[in-house]
Amino acid sequence: MDLFAQLLANGLGNGAHYALLGLGFGLIFTTTRIVHFAYGPVFAVSAFAVWLAVAVGGLPLAAGVVLAPLTAAAAGALVYWLAYRPFERRGMSSHSVLILSLGLSIVLESLLTLIFGPNIHTVPGFAPPIFILGPVFLTGLQIGEVIAVLGVAGALLLFLRQTRYGHAILALSDDRDMARIVGIDTDRISLIVFALGSAIAAVAAVFTLLNEGATPSMGFNPVFVAFVVAVVGGLGSIPGSILGGFLVGLVESLGLWKIPTEWQNSIAFVLLFVVLLARPQGLFAGARR
């Protein structure tokens, strides 16, 4: 039972991480219909920005952390404007954009390796506080990430429902042509969505940096997790991304109870297949924004 409680706690911590990843990826996909594989390197770039500021620049951690969403927003917006948008303008098929996105992801990752080398870069002198609740060990990072995902999701919902730009994003994800017809500048909204989605990923990237350190390939797994979470939860649904993230986290963690560790990464994909077979629109697709 003690093991179960610990696995449950780990699952919730990982779930929060996955939910953040799915939230940003899902927002970008539903609004722009672009499968943004370069989400991975953007995620890595934001972690390296924090590492540079803190480990090299000597900034306090709290100040460095603020850089993550800002860097990611800028990097995500640049990727959209310089890479995806010219393709869209020429009326390229979504398949071409998908291949472009994959290629771009590889190029950006190689670039990071050229600059930083393949080694792990950790933030010196950081150790998260540990909490012991009965039989369960929790790190401050696990608790922090659960709080972070709830805060980010709440803020995103408010933004989408209450602001002019939020309404434009909802309009664009519903029908791009109609959005143009009512006078929405779809290029500008796509740019904002790329910045916003990337900034959300950066929140997760900070936790990865503090937990494990940064490597150029650190974004590789998160893209796939983000994809699985967004699809399992139901594309376009914010509650879906949150619940999908926690579901993947919990299934993965609790699976360890009975399944050997080396299968952990496969569990998410097995879950994806099962969900796609049973409910192709995603588990919580009905729960629209």
Partner 1 sequence: MTALLDIAGLTAGYGKKTVVRDVALTLRTGEIVVVLGHNGAGKTTLVRAIFGLIRASSGRVSFDGRDITGRGPSANIADGLALVPQGHGIFRTLNVRRNLELGGFSVTSRDVIAERMERVFALFPVLRERQAQIGGTLSGGQQQMLAIGMALMPAPRLLILDEPSIGLAPLLVERVMESIREINENYGTTILLVEQNPRLALKIAARAVVMNRGAKIYDGAPEVLADERKLLELF
Instruction: Name the residues that contact partner 1, by CB under 8 A.
Output: 91, 164, 167-168, 170-171, 174-175, 177-178, 180-185, 288
Cβ-based nearer residue to partner 1, 29 or 246: 29
Alpha-carbon distance 140 to 5, whole Å?
A: 17
Structure tokens at 32: 């722009």
Cβ-based nearer residue to partner 1, 182 or 277: 182
247 and 283 in contact (C-beta within 8 Å)?
yes
Cβ-based nearer residue to partner 1, 160 or 202: 160
Residue 170 beta carbon to partner 1: minimum distance, rounded to whole angstroms:
6
Residue 230 beta carbon to partner 1: minimum distance, rounded to whole angstroms:
17
Cβ-based nearer residue to partner 1, 174 or 212: 174
Q: Which segments within 134-197 are labelled E, that is strand?
A: 136-139
Q: H helices of 130-219, where?
A: 140-162, 164-174, 176-181, 186-212
Report residue 227 CA to chain centroid gap: 9
What's the Cα-to-Cα distance from 175 to each of 106, 169, 227, 234, rounded to whole Å? Answer: 31, 10, 22, 18
Cβ-based nearer residue to partner 1, 131 or 288: 288
Residue 8 beta carbon to partner 1: minimum distance, rounded to whole angstroms:
35
> 53-60: which pairs have CB atoms within 8 A and are 24 or more residues apart?
54/123, 55/121, 55/122, 55/123, 55/124
Residue 182 beta carbon to partner 1: minimum distance, rounded to whole angstroms:
5
Cβ-based nearer residue to partner 1, 185 or 212: 185
Helices then strands (H, E): number in the chain? Answer: 12, 2
Q: How many CB atoms lie within 10 A of CB 141?
A: 20
Residue 181 beta carbon to partner 1: minimum distance, rounded to whole angstroms:
6
Cβ-based nearer residue to partner 1, 50 or 169: 169
DSSP letters, 63-85, are HHHHHHHHHHHHHHHHHIIIIIH
Cβ-based nearer residue to partner 1, 178 or 274: 178
Residue 165 beta carbon to partner 1: minimum distance, rounded to whole angstroms:
11
Structure tokens at 60: 């306090």
Residue 179 beta carbon to partner 1: minimum distance, rounded to whole angstroms:
8
Alpha-carbon distance 222 to 212, whole Å?
A: 14
What's the Cα-to-Cα distance from 128 to each of 85, 125, 137, 152, rounded to whole Å? Answer: 41, 10, 12, 21
Residue 34 beta carbon to partner 1: minimum distance, rounded to whole angstroms:
19
248 and 241 in contact (C-beta within 8 Å)?
no
Alpha-carbon distance 129 to 266, whole Å?
A: 31
